[in-house]
Structure 1
Amino acid sequence: MCRIFGSFSAARADPDPVELAAVSARQRHGGPDEHRVLRGPGWSLGCDRLAVTDPRGGSQPYRLAHLPGITAVLNGQIYNHAALRRELASRGHRFPDRCDGTLLPALYAEYGPDFARRLDGMFAVAVLDLRAAPRLVLAVDPLGTKPLHYHQGPDGTFRFASEIPALLAFDGVRAAPREDSLDTVLCLRTPVSARTALEGIGLLPPGATAVVRPGRAPVVRRRPPGPPPPAQTPEGERDDAGDLLRREVRSLARADVPVCVLTSGGLASGLVTALAAEYARETGAPAPHTFHLALRGRWPGAEHGRARQTARHARTLHQEIALDPAELPSLLTRTTRHLGQPDADPAAPAAYALFRAVRQAGYTVALTGDGADELFGGPARLHAASCVPSGPDWAASYTDALGAAPRMLRAWLYTPAYRAFIADEGSAADRVERELRSCPDGDRRAAVAAFETRWRLPAGPLRRADHLGMAWAVEARMPFCRPAVAAYARTLAPAAAQDRGPLRAAGRALLPKAVAQRARQPAALPLAALIAPGGPLLEPVRELLSAERLARAGQVRPERVRALLARQLERPSERDALALWALAAHELWTEVVRGMRVPLDCAA
């Protein structure tokens, strides 16, 4: 698990080492164990390493003595590296250590740009091939768990980095927010596509490989899916959700560094907790440590009671982290800086604080329940699309449930000029709705599930797990996002997927009844109470949404934002609070991202 970066151009000059050091410094929080950069005429490759597999080996960038001209860097984990190493060794390749990424130059030498199809894991990889026809090859895993951002300047120079703040440290990369970024945040909470919220900065799509030739635009292609994972047990019976999760949890719980579990109090993280504890008992290992974050004081929707029930039932060593609500404003600034893109999901500051506690307790790997909702049909927005009668508005019901502000509220808030701009440009919600309505055979649930897994899951939960975990040098591992589990979820009939039936069935044997059967509750902050009279977020939100700030941007009408805030103070509601939070989060992001073009301290 690391942070990677590099550049590639037709120029023959060596990249500036001072510039590369600045890029590395911007994402060093995610790779504190080793920092190394290689450079040559027209190219550079660098890595900030978090040592997880074979901590004493695996120095990056990876090179093999018998393969001159091929250099690679890796962010992530390759889970089938042992099998690949045996295969490559049988073909005459030799490796100096057992680190997962060391085999990448040999794998590329054997398969060329198609090498990524043979990788099982969560990864972002860059391979520089300086042999006969120089090229740079980038690849990310099928779910986009490990993001890779890139920029190509007017002179053809191609630059990439794991994090946007690092990419902005390259000369020639501008921090220019897109004009439609506010509409995107209000429609979808965060950018949900390969186009980021910054002009000229792209994101490699999930499951894609890009080939870059010197001075040419990258050729980006989504890889065809690999062979489906085995669907039969040794006895010939089909696996259920519990069987699949058990195998994946056991695989991901093995590491060369300490591993813990994040327990939210919900069904998905409860299953991961129970299975990790079961594996520890069967192998004679100590009981796993579990972590849960709770706001100090009495707040609606608190989950710490359920988390304690799960931990007691699984017999884990449970740690409840009490977060002072007064710290939330500073956490919002830090999460905004680390995410690089605007994100209006209230889960972000809490996730940052939880990963901080995990690292301070000495853990490098954390198992989480991320991905279960998107794959197993949990969120209400999936059901909103299914329940609306047939007609042109079913997709709009989904986007309204997904977004931070419904369509009519957005239109009411926007200035006439910005409303006209969005009408000409097209709203982010419109683009999503067109994609959903184009689904084959009119299968609404299939269309929503495909969109959720292809775009929303990587842009939301997975981006937060990666960026906010790595802000504290913690690798988040997600059993629900493993290929076998995702493939199983795709086979479920709508009735079986409704309300996460297969997961509840697994939970009945593993969890307290109150946890296994409870209704889903989003793991987020209680915004309505926090942005209320006397709430700790009221004044920060009020300041970010001052009339002077909003008038400068010219996108929303200050008097109507003021009226929305007044309504929230009179009758606090989660819906109005979320819209205000999204407006404030976007305003903060524009300030933070513009400050990234000057030297700054990006420490966690």
Structure 2
Amino acid sequence: MWLRHFLAYTRVLPPPGTPHGSISASDHKLPEPGRGGLIVCGLAGILRHDGGPVQPAVLEAMTAVLAHRGPDGQATRMLGAAGLGHRRLAIVDRSPAGEQPMCDDRGTLWIVCNGEIYNHLELRRDLERRGFAFRSRCDTEVILYLYRVYGDDCVQHLRGMFAFALWDSEARRLLLARDRFGEKPLFYMDDGEQFCFASELKSLQRHPAFPWDVDPAAIHRFLAMDYIPAPDSVYAAVRKLPAAHRLVVEAGQARLQRYWRLDYGAQPSGAPLAELQDEVLRRFDESVRLRLMGEVPVGVFLSGGIDSNTIASAVSRVSNQPVRTFTIGFDDPRHDESRYAREAARALGTEHHERVLAPNLEALLPRVVAHFDEPFGDPSAIPTWCLAEMAGRHITVALSGEGGDEAFAGYQRYRKHQIARRAWLLPRPLRRALGQVLHKVLPTALPGAHPLRGAADLLTAREATLDEVYGRWLLHCDEATAGRLYAPGLRDAVELEDPVRLLAGLLGSSGARDPVNAMLDVDQQTYLADDLLLKLDVAAMAHAVEGRSPFLDHEFAAFVAAIPGRYKLRHGTGKWLLRRALRGRLPPAVLSRGKRGFGLPLDQWLAGPLRPLLHDTLASRAARERGLFEPRAVQAMLDEGPSRKPQQAHLLWNLLVLELWFGAAKTQRTGPQHNA
């Protein structure tokens, strides 16, 4: 038995096959025309391959569980073999006319959409010139008529964030699409009889045929990377639609297609540096202006760093409305930057809201873990959750800085890679000898992110290439740790699974013009989409707050991607170009400050308020009987505590999150909603 007692209610299955089957539709009355608006929400749907009717009660249950994403209303449509469900959070013109599912004037195209199309007015004018008459002002209706003109390529014309499902009853085909960066999520599954999709896993779990079998390789990816990269999910037979992809289900086949990729190999403009700086700010201001549209209160998630300050400054420039800012502080001065945020808010003249994070962690952590639906180890999910909870009392839309570091090289690891390229010129024996000496003289408690610790790790790296070294830096559980920690069954199940090869392969195959942009390319495809944007969407939508990321406007991002890496990381300073461009907009203290974010004092919390939960959970009978990890190895980590070794706290955190998730998943499956 290769995974003893893996789950009392689970077995491990291979990846799912290709969706297949035939589809049909029936006619329904068209909704009355009226005024619509921008709508963000949750969506769900079912497609029966045998052409039979969708069960209304199942679709309604799948839709109802997404109420937190759309508290303004729920609607479902049964369209023969297809059924569409929608939860509404109205942002512009909150009248009933903007409700979904929505159809075109012929009643043959039906759509549910989560997100916002920022260029919908421009698209509407072009479509009206082509003779289309709109029934509402809703941006979702634009997609219906774009599809009439361009077919599946309609996604190429959209500027915004979105996940949508479009049912073409005449062609008997279903089109799913997700925005270019993955700001809006979309999951799907197919059991051979029904193809189901939804904004969140908890919606799919309301379907009686939900496949609860866990993928052990996904567990390994989670422990190594903090997240499970698309297209996989924690469940073996459930997939995520990757960012910048569309999926067409037609004539018994499913076709997954990538429709866009950020081009880091584009020829730079050659403009003088001063003009380049001005153009960056002009385009960024335009992105912010587009994301301020709506008839609901808008605010900014503010830290002490450059990205959020850049957004707040732009809002104050392009909007006549008062700027509201929100920040989270910590009692631990190592992680608290509320003072910097307060100073920035005062300088910008914002209406500032602040909260010191001192929650009941033993109660909050299981709640957050359960809401994410699959293991998610980024500790900043906790402050992001609390920030959204606080902001939700005041605003409906929040601008946030996701994508700024991936656009302008803000992470310390980019600098480390520059050093690595120089170190790799040394003969390997000399390099390793220097690293070993450095390891011996460094204090044990020195953080793993410290430059000296990074230099020592770099010099002693076993990897054969720089691409592999970079891939290793992104992981929290290496092969040696997994070898000690994993029980034989889990080791066997993930024997061929190596996240380092995945990341190194992406870096090596990048078409970027220089090493800095190649690293940005990898992070944009992985960490940004599957960690940062997932975190923002889940945490914000849990409190009916819509997160918008101005750095992720695809036209702005394409312009920045073509800028040479030497202007992004220069003389060891990340975001060099952005810092220069912002002189005169932001105070010098903000521009000179290093990377900031909503961090978490893991070692302090795991050794303090979370210690009872940590020990009780990881040493529990349920954890032992699951058979995933060697009990002695887990106990040794608990005995050493979170502060004895670099990265120990993070791995303990992920193990705690994983075990809490298993408990939540069991509750989801055995809860009353599945016994009805």
The alignment's TM-score, normalised by the length of structure 1, stands at 0.91
Say which SS state the counterpart of residue 167 (structure 2) adopts. Answer: strand
Partner deviation per Cα, 1:205-236 (whole Å, 9 max, x = no partner): 1111111025x242010014599999899xx9
- In the alignment, is the contact (CA less than 8 A) between 1:208 and 1:221 conserved in 2? yes
Aligned to 1:489: 560
* Residue of 112, 127, 141 corresponding to 1:73: 112
Counterpart amino acid of residue 118 in structure 2: Y
Alpha-carbon distance between aligned partners in 2 of 1:27 and 1:136, rounded to the nearest angstrom: 22
Runs of 5+ unmatched residues, structure 1: none
- In the alignment, is the contact (CA less than 8 A) between 1:143 and 1:458 conserved in 2? yes
Q: Are 2:365 and 1:332 aligned? A: yes
Partner deviation per Cα, 1:22-51 (whole Å, 9 max, x = no partner): 101221100111100001321101110110
Distance 1:552 1:204, change over 3 A: same
Greater alpha carbon shift after TM alignment, 428-437 vs 192-201: 428-437
Q: Are 2:173 and 1:173 aligned? A: no
Higher Rg of the two aligned structures: 2
Counterpart amino acid of residue 192 in structure 2: P
CA drift of 1:479 comes to 0.6
Counterpart amino acid of residue 176 in structure 2: L
Q: Are 2:282 and 1:243 aligned? A: yes
Distance 1:266 1:452, change over 3 A: same
Q: Are 2:182 and 1:144 aligned? A: yes
Partner deviation per Cα, 1:421-463 (whole Å, 9 max, x = no partner): 322x322333323333344599543432222112221101111
Structure 1 residues 181-580: aligned runs within 5 Å: 181-213=218-250, 216-224=252-260, 237-238=275-276, 239-280=278-319, 283=320, 285=321, 287-295=322-330, 297-325=331-359, 327-361=360-394, 363-389=395-421, 390=424, 392-423=464-495, 425-439=496-510, 444-498=515-569, 499-532=574-607, 535-546=608-619, 548-568=621-641, 571-572=643-644, 575-580=647-652
- In the alignment, is the contact (CA less than 8 A) between 1:150 and 1:158 conserved in 2? yes
Alpha-carbon distance between aligned partners in 2 of 1:141 and 1:400, rounded to the nearest angstrom: 29
RMSD: 2.5
- In the alignment, is the contact (CA less than 8 A) between 1:344 and 1:404 conserved in 2? no
Alpha-carbon distance between aligned partners in 1 of 2:275 and 2:510, rounded to the nearest angstrom: 32
Counting matched residue pairs gives: 585
Distance 1:378 1:60, change over 3 A: same
Aligned to 2:157: 118
Alpha-carbon distance between aligned partners in 2 of 1:257 and 1:415, rounded to the nearest angstrom: 52
CA drift of 1:337 comes to 2.4
CA drift of 1:503 comes to 2.1
Alpha-carbon distance between aligned partners in 1 of 2:645 and 2:327, rounded to the nearest angstrom: 26
Say which SS state the counterpart of residue 468 (structure 1) adopts. Answer: helix
Alpha-carbon distance between aligned partners in 1 of 2:668 and 2:60, rounded to the nearest angstrom: 15
- In the alignment, is the contact (CA less than 8 A) between 1:67 and 1:106 conserved in 2? no
The alignment's TM-score, normalised by the length of structure 2, stands at 0.82
Say which SS state the counterpart of residue 318 (structure 1) adopts. Answer: strand
Alpha-carbon distance between aligned partners in 2 of 1:42 and 1:465, rounded to the nearest angstrom: 34
CA drift of 1:475 comes to 0.6
CA drift of 1:487 comes to 1.4
Structure 1 residues 144-163: aligned runs within 5 Å: 144-155=182-193, 157-163=194-200
Distance 1:586 1:393, change over 3 A: farther
Alpha-carbon distance between aligned partners in 2 of 1:573 and 1:345, rounded to the nearest angstrom: 19
The percent of aligned pairs where both chains have the same amino acid is 29
* Residue of 34, 46, 59 corresponding to 2:85: 46
Q: Are 2:659 and 1:587 aligned? A: yes
Distance 1:163 1:503, change over 3 A: same
Say which SS state the counterpart of residue 575 (structure 2) adopts. Answer: helix
Q: Are 2:54 and 1:15 aligned? A: yes
Alpha-carbon distance between aligned partners in 1 of 2:644 and 2:123, rounded to the nearest angstrom: 56
Greater alpha carbon shift after TM alignment, 187-196 vs 505-514: 505-514
Counterpart amino acid of residue 343 in structure 1: F
- In the alignment, is the contact (CA less than 8 A) between 1:528 and 1:574 conserved in 2? no
Alpha-carbon distance between aligned partners in 1 of 2:228 and 2:416, rounded to the nearest angstrom: 21
- In the alignment, is the contact (CA less than 8 A) between 1:196 and 1:202 conserved in 2? yes
Say which SS state the counterpart of residue 8 (structure 1) adopts. Answer: strand
Runs of 5+ unmatched residues, structure 2: 1-39, 425-462
Alpha-carbon distance between aligned partners in 1 of 2:512 and 2:560, rounded to the nearest angstrom: 20
Counterpart amino acid of residue 641 in structure 2: Q
- In the alignment, is the contact (CA less than 8 A) between 1:74 and 1:123 conserved in 2? yes
Aligned to 1:60: 100
Distance 1:210 1:272, change over 3 A: same
Distance 1:441 1:86, change over 3 A: closer
Counterpart amino acid of residue 519 in structure 1: G
CA drift of 1:299 comes to 4.3
Counterpart amino acid of residue 321 in structure 1: R
Structure 1 residues 84-103: aligned runs within 5 Å: 84-103=123-142
